[in-house]
Homo-oligomer: A and B are copies of this chain.
């Protein structure tokens, strides 16, 4: 699986791909421009000639590469609910292939711009077909994008790099010894929650996927949108 590059002259794509491979293999914590340079057998400064924006610019391109082709095309005969569901699934699959880029997505505007205009256009198309227009279209658009990125970036949040301090173990102990008096419901449902629910887990979603929660989440968002379609009046009570 190791890519052998010889003397083929450097190019932006080559650098971005090397960076992504490196992140996939060792995580963001280990990532550095210099390391990328080393794997390409090039001086660090050569990178700067090819990619603008330095380290952050490179990371933004990495995100864009990892997330390309997430949005299936939307035609006038497609069902918007079904389409939304499929984008959510494909987006999750992309991040499951590259879990270590997850922290980048919410990290910077530059990076979440990596999710490209094609996706924007198609989400708008789907929502328009659902009946949303004008200001309301924009609001539902923001809702969908936030929901799209939300679950998965959180699910894939990485555990400590090498965990020399044994964080995972001591955290598990802390969770398992919470007093039932203070946390009755947490303790009552502990078997179901421990390591399988946000905040009370010690492994990342690429190791312990939270599948059922994701399904419920998608159901919730879609059902919510559907109920808003019914509400034709622009304004709602706060």
Q: Is A171 located at the chain interface by the 8 A CB criterion? A: yes
CB pair A185–B217 under 8 Å, yes or no, is: no
By secondary structure, the A interface counts as helix
Chain A residues 180 to 238 lying within 8 A of chain B, measured CB to CB, are 182-186, 189, 192-193, 196-204, 210, 212-217, 219-228, 236, 238
Contact between A228 and B236, CB atoms less than 8 A apart = no
Q: How far is the CA of A197 from the CA of B137 in the complex (A)?
A: 11
Q: Interface readout for A149-164 with B: 1 if CB under 8 Å, 0 if not?
A: 1110111011110000
- A53 to B224, Cβ gap below 8 A? no
> Once the chains bind, are A117 and B178 in contact (CB under 8 Å)?
yes
| A115 touches B (CB below 8 Å) | yes
Chain B nearest Cβ from A225, distance in angstroms: 6
Q: Are B219 and A221 within 8 A (Cβ)?
A: no
Beta-carbon contact of B145 and A189 below 8 Å = no
Q: A103-B106, A110-B167, A146-B155 are in contact. List 12 more A-B contacts (CB 8 A).
A: A56-B160, A102-B106, A106-B153, A109-B158, A110-B159, A113-B200, A134-B189, A135-B212, A139-B212, A142-B214, A146-B150, A147-B151
User: Which A residues lie at the B interface, using CB under 8 A?
Assistant: 52-53, 56-57, 102-103, 105-113, 115-117, 119-121, 124-125, 128, 134-143, 145-147, 149-151, 153-155, 157-160, 165, 167, 171, 175, 178, 182-186, 189, 192-193, 196-204, 210, 212-217, 219-228, 236, 238
7 contacts between A and B (CB under 8 A): A57-B165, A138-B196, A141-B193, A142-B217, A149-B154, A215-B236, A223-B227
